[in-house]
Chain A
Amino acid sequence: MTRNSDSVLSRRKFLIASGAAGLAGLAGCTENNTDGEGGSGGDSEGTDSSGDGSNELSGTIDIAGSSTVFPLATAMGERFQTEHSEVNINLQSTGSGGGFANYFCTGQTDFNNASRPIKGEEETQCEDNDVTPVELKVATDALTVIVNNDNDFLGEGLTVEQLQTIFSAESTPTTWSDVNSEWPDEEIEIYGPTDASGTYDYFIEAIIGEEGPGHRQDYSATEQDRTIIQGVQGSEYAIGYMGFAYYSESTDAVQAVPIENDAGEFVEPSLDTALSGEYNPLSRPLFTYPARESLAEDHVAEFARYWMENSTSREIVADEVGYVPLGEDEQQEMLDTLNAAIEEAN
């Protein structure tokens, strides 16, 4: 700044002149306002579908439900999101039942993942809130029973009857020798998912029986599969069960128990044995339930299609997440179901 000691006026003149010059300079740097209303494309208000298919998809997709399907949904969401950056995908792991009761059937979420089919009472709850679930199978899981790496007394594996004895509410053995007198007289530590989990429900259905005494309740229940692994890893006489994907991430930490199938063979859980049907009765289908009402929105429908189209992908479903992908026929069937639902929704 020039400073003339005698006059305030000249300083003011200088300021005005420099200001004007600055304004003129700035004016040269303006740009045409291209986005008119509502600022730039970062605005995520457009959750509704405009019929115009050429538009970039945008909006929010909320997904809750099974912790077993969660990694698969995350993998699909991540890929979909890189292709459609304006779509916000929010994922939550709440357990199948928790997701239906607290989020999906109250209309909070667009998808609910489940590691078992929806129950009658849940369908009623959804119906009361005008939410129509559409059942889509996304993969097959091998529900895996795990024990500590130092556990060597189980030998060949466990039979379904032994599993039933260990986990049912009726027998509640406290030591391993209560189950089989040849096994050590040590306390059994049991870890498993909570009753909000579809894994829990499926375990009851497959092992204990729906009509049976039910699942024992004196065990360490958690919705965090990592906690189950840590618990079993930490104690030589612990046992637990969970989805195969989490086990496949931690094969060094714990060992999977071979289970006797209906042919009388002890089979270890793996993608191959689950696909071939040798690993039974613990292999099970995994589902996601989009709400038909949400499928009316383009971005939700497009994500559901994307998921189904990639449900046969070995790379995503098997290698990255650790489940058995759908077969071509199953995929076609699911796509037909989905397209019919989308049609109905619109």
Chain B
Amino acid sequence: MATDTDSGYIDSFGQVSRTTGTVFRYLLLAATMFGIVTLAVLLVYVANDAIRPLTADLGWHLTFFLTLVVPTTVVGGYLARRNVPALKLGGMVVGMLAVFLMFSGGVAIVFVDIIPPLTGLSYVVGLLVPAALVVVLTKYEQQIPFTLRVAATGAAFILSLVGVPGYFHSIPEIVRQLPVVPADWMILTLVLGGVAAVVVGQYVARIRENTTAGLAAGASALLLTGLAAVVGPTLGVDANAAAVVTSVAFVPTLAYAGGAAVTREQERIGLLLAAAVVVGSLVGAFAVDALGFAGPQSWVDWQFLTSAHSGTAENAGLYPAIGGSILLMATVAALSFPLGVGAAVYLEEYAPDNAFSRFIDVNISNLAGVPSVVYGLLGLGVFVTYLGQPTGTVLIGGATLALLILPIVIISSREAIRAVPGDMRQASYGMGATRWQTVKNVVLPEAFPGILTGTILALGRAIGETAPLIMIGAPNVLFNLPTELTSKVSAMPLQVYAWSSLFASEDFYTKAVPAGVVVLLAVLLAMNSIAIVLRNKFESEN
């Protein structure tokens, strides 16, 4: 062949140059890397500005290098050679701990500072009572006509949550007026620890295929949370914080690690990696403290995360904006998830294939590409000007952002529903199931992970949006957490924008802005990592 360059004897054959192909290949590589490298350089630059690793003592770096980096690299290297699935398990546990720790911070903001624990408990009770009634009603599904059941369910929830003014107090009100109430940490233990216990219990029961083991795991999860809240104060940790962090971060991670250790014998050695990271960090932290080495003078510190805006960059913080972003996300999720999934199910499962539905199809795709500032204007026009709502509140901001991501949620949910094999639907019909039963029992459960992934990614877009919030008149600076749907709200990207534009001093530009960017990106990466893990997990199961 032509590549046979040694055969110089045959003149007529000539040679085919590989140069063009090689150049083309490396051009493509350059195109691939260009964006990633540029962004990486920028991020490293910003992170360096925000965290300032070079301001730490050499001893600090050395200590953590010895206690954390070396053991982790050794264990990781060993696992990478011998047992890659185990390495993945270890990485998963470490990542889970990191992400859940971050989320526990968010949960603490919501369930301690925004909603006082007692109020939270009152609503939990107010929801549980009618929910119990619904469970009873479902048992007699066959005897009671559909309309009556719906009416009874609706009435139960409304009676419980709203009451009858003048005659009958709502359950949340009754709970709040009890003369004796549990301490805050107990409420948190009961509510958050209870949720964690149920989740953990079900998980353990499933992987061990043993109800008793599940019960035991759930009970110990609850006990552990309570124990943390009791022991925490003696170690200088606030009881409320201890309860939240334990129930949201430690209990699920422990359960996952424990479950893996018991059921996945081949891979459990990977937990060594997680142990190396956790123990290494703790030992390093103690050693640094004992030896008196100063850490980096990072701008992303506890003070930054827990205080409000200030006139001086050193004292400025992101706290109200973090709380605002969380509340906005909750509102956006509550609005866009049911609407988006509902629309997707209709369009995929019910809509006839006619000109009208094709028209809607095209429009939804187009709406997904409409610039966010247009949605901001829409929000301003519809909610503020037309409906006369006050500007810049959690509700308005959430509704505007929900409109913004609704097309994305619909499109990704439709993809997920379309990916459910037609055979499964046919099989369900073949068994005599109705269309509603098929959607409920076959399509939605099968498509759910995909729907969830798409929604989380869409929420990731919403959390970074600034333009719609500016349009609806969200304040540039506020000092308190929003506590209600009608409170004014700021968000992380908006706060960063305000710092970079309204406070012209160099101080804000080099201290507060990079720190804000790092926090925003960390939250975004955590959300996206959850979406990716969910997707991979369910892809590998199918």
Q: Which residues of A contact B (CB under 8 A)?
A: 1, 26, 29-33, 35-40, 42-45, 60, 62, 64, 67, 70-71, 74-75, 77-78, 81, 85, 88-93, 102-103, 108, 224-227, 229, 246, 249-250, 320-321
Partner of A31, one of B183, B487, B500: B183
Q: How far is the CA of A43 from the CA of B114 in the complex (A)?
A: 9
Residue among A1, A32, A92 with the highest chain B CB neighbour number at 10 A? A92
Contact A246 B504 (CB under 8 A): yes
Beta-carbon contacts of B164-193 to A below 8 Å, as 1s and 0s? 000000000100111111110010000000
Give Cα A108 to B182, complex, Å: 40
Query: Does A88 lie within 8 Å of B488, measured CB to CB?
Result: yes
A-B pairs with beta carbons under 8 Å apart, 11 shown = A40-B119, A60-B488, A71-B503, A78-B308, A85-B480, A90-B477, A93-B502, A108-B390, A224-B502, A249-B503, A250-B506
Q: Is B361 an interface residue (CB 8 A)?
A: no
User: Any chain A CB within 8 A of the CB of B83?
Assistant: no
Q: Which residue from chain A places its CB closest to the CB of B501 in the assembled complex? A: A224
Q: List, in ascending order, chain B residues with CB within 8 A of A60's CB.
A: 487-488
Chain A residues, Cβ within 8 Å of B479: 77-78, 81, 88-89
Q: Which residues in A have their C-beta under 8 angstroms from that of B484?
A: 44-45
Distance between A240 CB and nearest chain B CB, rounded to angstroms: 13
B residues near A1, Cβ cutoff 8 Å = 216, 219
Are A67 and B483 touching (Cβ within 8 A)? Answer: no
Contacts of A78 in B (CB 8 A): 308-311, 479
Chain B residues with CB under 8 Å of A40's CB are 116, 118-119
B365 at the A/B interface (Cβ < 8 Å)?
A: no
Total B residues in contact with A, Cβ cutoff 8 Å: 45
Q: Are A77 and B477 in contact (CB under 8 A)?
A: yes
CB B469 to nearest CB in A, in angstroms, measures 11
Q: Does B113 contact A (CB under 8 A)?
A: yes
CA A77 to CA B480, docked complex, whole Å: 11
Tell me whether B210 is interfacial, beta carbon within 8 Å. Answer: no
Assuming A33-B177, A108-B391, A227-B501, is B483 touching A42 (CB within 8 A)?
Answer: yes
On whether the beta carbons of B473 and A29 are closer than 8 Å, the reply is no
With both beta carbons as reference points, the residue of chain A lying nearest to B222 in the complex is identified as: A22
Contact B186 A29 (CB under 8 A): yes
Instruction: Kindly list chain A residues whose C-beta atoms are within 8 Å of the C-beta of B477.
Output: 74, 77, 90-92
From A44, which residue of chain B is reached at the shortest CB distance?
A: B483
B505 beta carbon closer than 8 Å to chain A: yes
How many Å lie between the Cα of A93 and that of B494 in the bound state? 13
Q: Which residue of the partner chain, among B176, B182, B473, B487, contacts A88 with CB atoms under 8 Å?
A: B487
- Contact between B480 and A88 (Cβ–Cβ < 8 Å)? yes
Q: Is B153 an interface residue, CB under 8 A from the partner?
A: no
Q: Which residue of A lies closest to B230 (CB)?
A: A29
- A226 near B488 with CB under 8 A, answer no
A33 close to B311 (CB less than 8 A): no
Q: Add 8 more A-B contacts to A36-B177, A108-B391 (CB < 8 A).
A: A29-B183, A30-B180, A30-B186, A31-B181, A70-B476, A90-B477, A92-B477, A224-B502
Please give, as numbers and ranges, the residues of chain B lying within 8 Å of A91 by CB-CB distance. Answer: 475-478
Nearest 9 A/B pairs, CB to CB: A90-B475, A39-B119, A40-B116, A249-B505, A226-B504, A224-B501, A90-B488, A91-B477, A81-B479
Which residues of B from 277 to 318 have beta carbons under 8 Å from A?
Answer: 308-311
